[in-house]
């Protein structure tokens, strides 16, 4: 299998190296061949080529079986008014690969419950899979700007909502058969289209329970009853906000993985944390989110379910018995975790 | 002073009656004259007149010194695809009154810390004032719909951002002189206009510290360090989501008030909870949010700071010593709370 790595900026290179080491161990142990090819994205790509997603990087990704990304951005490129910005590389890549379904699982490991801002009784049975629409909405709509006014258009087509909804229902069938669709249908036209489309697709899955929730209520319910939810499907911007809220529940951003999938098996995998410039290069970043992203890569792009489960079990062992990085109350470095896993 | 009440739907009438009783007690005790005039809004207005904001209601509000609203909506009118919906009345009223700054304070009363989903150590020193832009953004932008596509336009002008920003900075001067502006400037054009405008206005307030935060990060930081924030200013939709997340932190939605202000002193006051159809008419709704909204009315529209503080102190007493309604672990009814206050 051909795997392109895009380490990116800040802690990206450290955590990506750890995830690659784990994938290499999997290859050795299970007798697979993984070829890795490293490319530029984000701030380092701007510095080297002027573009946050150089052609060479994009082409390599389009020819790979899977892409493993670290993180993009940093103080050096943080002016949101600058014409060229690291995040543009990430957004362009998502669009070019057509990875419209962003899977972000939220699990709270019992050994880490003390780190969560939530009371421990709220954390029991928390096992949520967010399915965030990733290539539509206000992220990719028309924008205008005059000295006096700015606009962003949020646009969704029925087809865009259908495909991500189907993905959510398919995933729910492998889980607890419960989908919560989040929108703002009492205010937004795109949300009314979203809701009626989800409603119609749900009829194809009579064995899965569907509920609708308004995004403001959901922001609340995620705190008051996180254990209630199974699969949560929502549009791009709401998904961005809700999954970061969910990440806070997990106790550390460093723990959570994500997978972005399109029509084929090619996928884009990245930990949900950012480039964390404050700790970059110190060897203390938690590589767990990146390693769990590699496990998702094994599962969703390479069809290696056993291998994925193996990596996840190893990560769970380490979370339970240590070593732990600083963000979760330990002293270990990035490479200690990688060796332990 | 002329106060229009819009009890609305569900628990709206019960909690509004409690707040009116408290205002009447204030009038008697401090020797003021308050004239109350009740009008229709929301679902009950649709049933009676076909419109969620009948002309008579709007005219009365425009001539009043302040408007006290209960809640709108309910299962009977809950189809988001229906052409006429209760929330339209609320949105039309906000726009017609020009109340662009929605103030939503978040305080966690120590006696109620056990009810919050957050660990008690997170709740120390939580005292946040959200200032949500209320008459712009995607709520009021152009919408389109075809069988296949829907769009919502989010639009902001510099003037809209300036006025709400100034309000936030003025309020910060009476508090801890710290403003956090929330946007999604790495993706949205409206957020880039928002950020540069806030930045410019901030220069007029060198004594107030300004920080910018992305909305996804803010959804996380609100859980990990809620005690850090003072005034948080943001656009309409982000404010909707973040203030509901904040409400969950308070332990019960029934506790929190809001004030919506425009250029003059006229204001619109409403508890942040909804119409709660499941408990409507049972006399168990928590009127605290409505009563605290009445206190904000005394302060912001009538300039009666002492009276407002008096009501707030009485509410704090009741929260500490009871009686408590069911949502916060007690058995008392709506009228018990009103008498206690
Ligand atoms: C970096 C940014 C553009 C990105 C997003 O908003 O999608 C990030 O927050 C994420 O969630 O992956
Ligand atoms: C009822 C609804 C339209 C409203 C809003 O979204 O503004 C409500 O959620 C609120 O926060 O006051």
pLDDT at B19: 96
Structural fold of domain B1-104+252-341 = Isopropylmalate Dehydrogenase (3.40.718)
Residues A202-208 have a mean pLDDT of 98
Residues in A touching B244 (Cβ below 8 Å): 216-217, 219-220
Interface test with B, best of A85, A220, A253, A275 (most B CBs within 10 A): A220
Higher confidence at residue A212 or residue B110?
A212
Atom nearest to A258 CA in ligand 1: 12
Residues in A touching B135 (Cβ below 8 Å): none
CA-nearest of B132, B123, B205 to B172 is B205
pLDDT at B104: 97
Q: Which residue, by CA, sits nearest to atom 5 of ligand 1? A: A240
Q: Which of B122, B184, B205, B327 is catalytic?
A: B184
Query: What is the pairing mode between strands A143-145 and A149-157?
Result: antiparallel
Residues A239-260 have a mean pLDDT of 94
Residue A253: which pLDDT band, with cuts at 50, 70 and 90? confident
pLDDT at A339: 77
Calculate the CA B331 to chain-centre distance. 26
Look-up of token digits 């379904």: A101
Residue A327: which pLDDT band, with cuts at 50, 70 and 90? confident
Residues in B touching A190 (Cβ below 8 Å): 150-152
- With 80 as the cut, is the pLDDT of residue A152 above it? yes
CA-nearest of B178, B210, B150, B323 to A184 is B150
CB B258 within 8 A of CB B102: yes
Calculate the CA A211 to chain-centre distance. 23
CB spacing of B150 vs A244 below 8 angstroms: no
Residue A184: which pLDDT band, with cuts at 50, 70 and 90? very high
Other Cβ atoms less than 10 A from the Cβ of B334: the count is 23
* Residue A143 a catalytic site member: no
CA distance to partner chain B, nearest, from residue A300 (Å)? 26
Look-up of token digits 């590389």: A89
As a whole number, the mean pLDDT across chain A is: 95
* Residue A216 a catalytic site member: yes
- With 80 as the cut, is the pLDDT of residue A125 above it? yes
DSSP string, A126-149: -EEEEEEE-SSGGGTS-EEE-SSE
The closest CB to that of B224, out of A144, A222, A248, belongs to A248
**pLDDT tens across B178-217, in order?**
999 999 999 999 999 999 999 999 999 999 999 999 999 9
- With 90 as the cut, is the pLDDT of residue A8 above it? yes
Q: Which residues pair with B118 in a beta bridge?
A: A118
Q: Which residues pair with B53 in a beta bridge?
A: none
Residues in B touching A155 (Cβ below 8 Å): 149-151
Distance CA A221, CA A224 (A): 5
* Residue B121 a catalytic site member: no
Q: Where in chain A is the domain with CATH 3.40.718.10?
A: 1-105+252-341, 117-250
User: Domain A117-250, what architecture?
Assistant: 3-Layer(aba) Sandwich (3.40)
Residue A136: which pLDDT band, with cuts at 50, 70 and 90? very high
pLDDT at A257: 97
Is the omega angle on the peptide bond into residue B323 within 30 degrees of 0, that is, cis? Answer: yes
Ligand 2 pocket test target in B73, B74, B87 with most atoms within 8 Å of CB: B87
- With 90 as the cut, is the pLDDT of residue A212 above it? yes
Q: Which residues of A82-118 are buried (b: 16+ CB within 10 A; e: fewer)?
A: eeebbbbbbbbbbeebbbbbbbbbbbbbebbbebbbb
pLDDT at A326: 80
Residues A4-10 have a mean pLDDT of 97
**pLDDT tens across A30-70, in order?**
999 999 999 999 999 999 999 999 999 999 999 999 999 99
- With 90 as the cut, is the pLDDT of residue A341 above it? no
CA distance to partner chain A, nearest, from residue B36 (Å)? 30
Query: What is the pairing mode between strands A209-214 and A178-183?
Result: parallel
The closest CB to that of B220, out of A81, A196, A248, belongs to A248
Distance CA A312, CA A182 (A): 29
Whole-number percent of chain A with pLDDT over 90: 87
pLDDT at B340: 72
Ligand 1 pocket test target in B182, B184, B187, B218 with most atoms within 8 Å of CB: B187
pLDDT at B228: 98
DSSP string, B283-304: T----HHHHHHHHHHHHHTT--
**pLDDT tens across A289-317, in order?**
999 999 999 999 999 999 999 999 999 99
CA distances from B302 to B3, B163, B288, B306 (A): 10, 21, 20, 11
Q: Where in chain B is the domain with CATH 3.40.718.10?
A: 1-104+252-341, 117-250
Residues of chain B with pLDDT under 70: none
Q: Is B181 annotated as a binding residue?
A: no
List the CATH code of the domain at A1-105+252-341.
3.40.718.10
pLDDT at B111: 84
pTM (predicted TM-score): 0.96
């Amino acid at each position: 299998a051909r795997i392109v790595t895009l380490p990116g900026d800040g802690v990206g290179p450290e955590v990506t190296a750890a995830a690659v080491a784990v994938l290499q161990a999997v290859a050795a142990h299970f007798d697979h061949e993984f070829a890795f090819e490293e490319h530029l994205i984000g701030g380092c790509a701007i510095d080297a080529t002027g573009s946050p997603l150089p052609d060479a990087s994009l082409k390599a990704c389009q020819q790979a079986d899977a892409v493993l990304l670290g993180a993009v951005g940093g103080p050096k490129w943080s002016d949101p008014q600058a014409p060229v910005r690291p995040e543009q590389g990430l957004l362009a890549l998502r669009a070019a690969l057509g990875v419209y379904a962003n899977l972000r699982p939220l699990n709270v490991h019992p050994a880490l419950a003390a780190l969560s801002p939530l009371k421990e009784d709220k954390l029991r049975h928390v096992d949520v899979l967010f399915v965030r629409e990733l290539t539509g909405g206000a992220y990719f709509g028309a924008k205008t700007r005059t000295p006096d006014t700015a606009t962003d258009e949020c646009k969704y087509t029925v087809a865009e909502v259908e495909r991500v909804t189907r993905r959510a229902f398919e995933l729910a069938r492998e889980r607890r058969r419960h989908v919560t669709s989040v929108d703002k249908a009492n205010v937004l036209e795109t949300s009314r289209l979203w809701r009626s489309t989800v409603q119609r697709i749900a009829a194809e899955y009579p064995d899965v329970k569907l509920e609708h929730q308004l995004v403001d209520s959901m922001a609340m319910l995620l705190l008051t009853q996180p254990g209630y939810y199974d699969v949560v499907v929502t549009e791009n911007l709401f998904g961005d906000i809700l999954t970061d809220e969910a990440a806070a529940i997990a106790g550390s951003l460093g723990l959570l993985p994500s997978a972005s999938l399109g029509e084929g098996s090619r996928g884009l995998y990245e930990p949900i944390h950012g480039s964390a410039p404050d700790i970059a290069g110190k060897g203390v970043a938690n590589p767990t989110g990146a390693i769990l992203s590699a496990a998702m890569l094994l599962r969703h792009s390479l069809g290696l379910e056993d291998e994925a489960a193996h990596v996840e079990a190893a990560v769970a062992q380490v979370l339970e018995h240590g070593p732990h990085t600083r963000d979760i109350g330990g002293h270990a470095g990035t490479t200690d975790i990688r060796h332990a896993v």
